[in-house]
Chain A
Amino acid sequence: MKADVLVLGAGPAGISAALEARAQGLSVLLLDENSGPGGQVHRGAKASAAGPGAEQAHAGAALAARLATSGVDCRFGAVLWAIEPGPTAFFSEAGMARKAEAGQIILAPGTIERAVPIPGWTLPGVMGVGAAQILLKSAGLLPEGRVWLAGQGPLLWLYAAQALARGGAIAGIIDMSTHQPRAFAHLPLALLAPGYLARGLSWMRMVRARVPVIRTRRFSAQGDGRLEKLVIGNQTHAADILLLHDGVVPNTQVTRAIQGFSHRFRAGAWEPEADEYGRSNIAGILVAGDGGGVFGAEAAALSGRIAALQAAHALGRFGAEQRNALAGPLMMQRARQRAPRRFLDALFPPLPPPSDDVMLCRCEEVSAGRVRQAVGLGCQGTNQLKAFTRAGMGPCQGRVCGPLLHAAVAQARGAAPEDVAPLRTRFPTKPLTLGELAALAE
């Protein structure tokens, strides 16, 4: 299988990249493991949407409609599991492993929700706000029973507003944010895109009017075999569902598995290192959207188009001058869309690592205390931590625990986070059966 451009991820960045590459006359293969286009933000987006988040749904529906008639070879339910120099991509579709050679690969894998390791976070009944939002968007499902939310960041309030608007009930919200006066230094820049903040504040107001909000970081989830209650100081609240959130981080599962791929630490997370066109330090591999740094859906769509223009240039469609002329206006729009992000990042720095007894790696059952103990024994980084504790070696390959282990090692060493290398991942970055792989040798 061959394509001029292979795009991974059919969210706003991936769809926009695919459409732009097609518009430049390139053949495009678009892979996404979901059953349809949209990614997280535009999942199940309908042109008829109303209520909180409706504007984004309308944009998503419009992108999906254009994609359907674009001539892009869309493979939904296709799971990419490796990239080799070439670049060559390996993916599985309906139980069959496939190999695709591409002129350029644009990675638009989006984000992963940061886990929130409070005491009891591994109990059944505790999940991420992101997972709840998938259920809401894809199936219109609201959690039942006494539902609590805890954590910090805009998505927490958006989800609460959406759930309430659809008739859901929320028993309470535990706001884990702390006052960050330094964030307000970034406010003037943020006001370049005032819609962003205005929307966020309106969700927050609407939710606060209807749901009790407790501001604390000291609480635990407890229960016998599943979540039964939240204990906050000397108060106990019955709870059936607890949805946690501490922002999202770029999904670097694929880029960290590519040997030699450079990453940088920014805004409390590792992101692939890429230039303004999305070019990484690996030949033929570009990054677009929130997977390259979290700036939101509008900026993601623009960066997808810019990366596609760069890909077209790299494939000889046009020279650097024309690329610059086409990409320039998009870059200016993107800068405006990115403006509020620094304020939000400063307002919600990642929550600090938890106390010793709290689990960080669920797959291998490694607690924060064991990570600190390993550092005491001379473990300097997250990759050595595997040898000391097996942390990060389970089936999730650090998808959940990676950022937590990294923060805990940095804190225990007293080192700056950027001085502690991120956990390496290994292909296949998504489960693949031995039989599927064997078929490539037959």
Chain B
Amino acid sequence: MNQAIIIGGGLHGLSTALHLARLPGWRVRVLERRHVGRHSSGINAGGVRRLGRDLREVGLSMVAAEMWAGMAKLVGDDGGFRPTGQVKLAESEADLAALERRHDAMRARGWTHEELIDEAETRRLLPGVAGHIKGALVVRDDGSANPMRTVMAFRRAVLEAGAEIIEGVSVTGIGPGLTVETDQGPMQADRVANCAGAWASGLAAAIGEPIPTYAKASMMIVTERLPRFCEPTVGSQSRALSFKQTDEGTVLIGGGHQGSNDLATETASVDFTNLAHAARIAAEIFPRMRGAKIIRSWTGIEARTPDQVPVLGESRALPGLFHSFGYSGHGFQLSPAAGAAMAELMARGATNLPIDGLSPHRFAT
């Protein structure tokens, strides 16, 4: 049996473990310092979005979209995925022009999933949207899922595939010969995956492979349950917003407004003066939201790369080690496809999945 160790029990670690454990001849162990889905995997906004992706990510995102459509077959549960659409609003004529340019750039590359819609169609999709909205870019079969439910489904599937998930074990370093050092002693492997999220670049730096990332702590708000009024997930071209009504009727509001974080203590805190901007944008786009009660807010820690696109690929400093991190606030949708790419790289040394723009070495000078 080949031995694989996956560092990090977030969605990317679990997805990598799942795909690898389903290949013949692999014994897979997932090492998680706290519990699975502890940081951004379990608490993100749940957007399943191709809309507006960086061109280097579009290919992998397209593969992931097909996997989301068949999620129940992949992990035994659909993770709450609903293809209710993603909408990026134009709040001004300048916004509309920018969305048109994006639309044309995508068409020029042969991508046709993003569709430009006029004001009337936007209002049909979003009754109750504010008067200043001019139009939107949409992907009608994008949608959203429930992050916690998705994490739990992957967790179950990983266990059913015969992999082990060891919670409460902290990886302190990766030594020569692919020895994973932990607070409970060393573990040996033939392949190691570094899926340690905001802590992954620290592990890479310790083996002499600097991959620059910054910790980020995007904040979220959830409101009380409201009567159903909004099906798609809504963003804005020029302002930071992610707005979605869940199956339960609660409304999730985010968009990348930053709280504070501390990697050493693994904590992140909401900054209400910043979060007030998310509330303001949401209330300006959906005026009916002004009176909605906020039930709680939260934030989680994850890694952002300098160009906001993840790194996925083999280490040069330590062959046999593979990095997958730096998803920069939009890794949830990519997770099924990124895990498949990782498993192929780890088992066969190559993949046909489109990851060319995601090399971990693109920042090296």
A residues contacting B by CB (< 8 A) are 82, 84-85, 90, 99, 259-260, 380-381, 383-384, 386-388, 394-395, 397, 425-428, 431-435, 437-442
Q: Do A435 and B283 contact each other (CB < 8 Å), given the known contacts A380-B167, A397-B295, A440-B276?
A: yes
Cβ–Cβ contact A435 & B291, under 8 A: yes
B279 pairs with A437, CB closer than 8 A:
yes
A431 and B224: CB pair below 8 A?
A: yes
B35 at the interface (CB under 8 A from A): yes
Check A384–B283 contact: CB distance below 8 A: no
21 contacts between A and B (CB under 8 A): A259-B262, A259-B265, A259-B267, A380-B35, A381-B35, A387-B148, A387-B151, A387-B152, A397-B296, A426-B297, A426-B298, A427-B272, A431-B224, A431-B295, A434-B283, A435-B290, A438-B276, A439-B276, A440-B273, A441-B273, A441-B276
B 139-153 contacts with A by CB, 8 A: 148, 151-152
Given A433-B291, A440-B273, A441-B276: A387 and B283 within 8 A (CB)?
no
Within 8 Å CB of B276, what residues of A?
437-441
Other than A380-B168, A434-B291, A437-B294, give 9 A-B pairs with Cβ distance below 8 A: A82-B272, A84-B272, A85-B269, A387-B148, A427-B296, A427-B297, A431-B293, A431-B294, A434-B253
B84 CB → nearest A CB, Å: 21
* Alpha-carbon separation in the docked complex, A431 to B277 (Å): 18
4 closest residue pairs by CB, A with B: A435-B290, A426-B296, A441-B276, A440-B276
Cβ of B196 within 8 Å of any chain A Cβ, yes or no, is no
Q: In whole angstroms, what is the CA distance A428 to B152 when docked?
A: 27
* Chain A residue contacts of B148, Cβ below 8 A: 386-387
**Closest chain A residue, CB of each to CB of B253:** A434
- The answer to whether B267 and A437 touch across the interface, beta carbons within 8 angstroms, is no
**B344 at interface by CB-CB < 8 Å:** no
Closest B residue to A381 using CB positions: B35
Residues of A within 8 A of B52 (CB): none
> Which residues of chain A have C-beta atoms less than 8 A from B271's C-beta?
84
A383 contacts across to B, CB distance below 8 A: 35
> Is the CB–CB distance between B35 and A82 below 8 Å?
no
When the two chains form the complex, which single residue of B268, B277, B295 contacts A259, counting CB atoms closer than 8 Å?
B268
Q: From residue B76, how far is it (CB to closest CB) to chain A in Å?
A: 14
B275 within 8 A of A: yes
In Å, the complex CA distance between A397 and B293 comes to 13
A residues less than 8 Å from B168 (CB atoms): 380
Task: Provide the bound-state CA to CA distance between A417 and B268, in Å.
Answer: 26
A-B contact count (CB 8 A): 100
- A144 to B296 alpha-carbon distance, docked (Å): 37
Residue of A nearest to B284 (CB): A438
Is B292 in contact with A433, judged by CB distance below 8 angstroms? yes
A131 → chain B closest CB, angstroms: 22
A90 nearest CB neighbor, chain B only: B272
Most chain A Cβ neighbours within 10 Å, of B273, B277, B296: B296
Q: Cα distance A383–B266 when bound, in Å? A: 15
A441-B152 CB under 8 A given contacts A380-B167, A384-B35: no
A437–B280 CA distance with the chains assembled, in angstroms = 8
B152: chain A residues at CB < 8 Å are: 387-388
Is the pair B272, A440 in contact by a Cβ cutoff of 8 Å?
yes
Provided the pairs A384-B35, A441-B277 are in contact, do residues A433 and B269 lie with their beta carbons within 8 angstroms? no
Within 8 A of A (CB), among B91-148: 148
B289 at the A/B interface (Cβ < 8 Å)? yes
Which residues of A sit under 8 angstroms from B283, Cβ to Cβ? 434-435, 438
Q: List the B side residues contacting A434 at CB < 8 Å.
A: 221, 223, 253, 279, 282-283, 289-294
* Complex CA distance for A271 and B268, rounded to whole angstroms: 22
Instruction: Kindly report which residue of chain A lies nearest to residue B265, judged by CB atoms.
Output: A260
- B270 at the binding interface (Cβ < 8 Å): yes
Bound Cα distance from A381 to B36, whole angstroms? 12
User: Which A residues touch B292, using CB under 8 A?
Assistant: 433-434
Determine the distance from Cα of A99 to Cα of B275 in the docked complex, in whole angstroms: 14
Residues of B close to A425: CB separation below 8 A: 296
**Chain A residues whose C-beta falls within 8 Å of the C-beta of B151 in the assembled complex:** 387
Residues of A within 8 A of B294 (CB): 428, 431-434, 437
Chain A hits for B167, CB < 8 A: 380
| Min C-beta distance of B36 to chain A, whole Å | 8
Q: How far is the CA of A152 from the CA of B129 in the complex (A)?
A: 54
The reply to whether B295 and A395 contact each other, CB–CB distance below 8 Å, is: yes
Q: Mark B235-261, 1 if CB is under 8 A from A, else 0.
A: 000000000000000000100000010
Nearest CB on B from A241, distance (A): 29
**Using Cβ atoms and an 8 Å threshold, which residues of chain B touch A438?**
276, 279-280, 282-283, 290
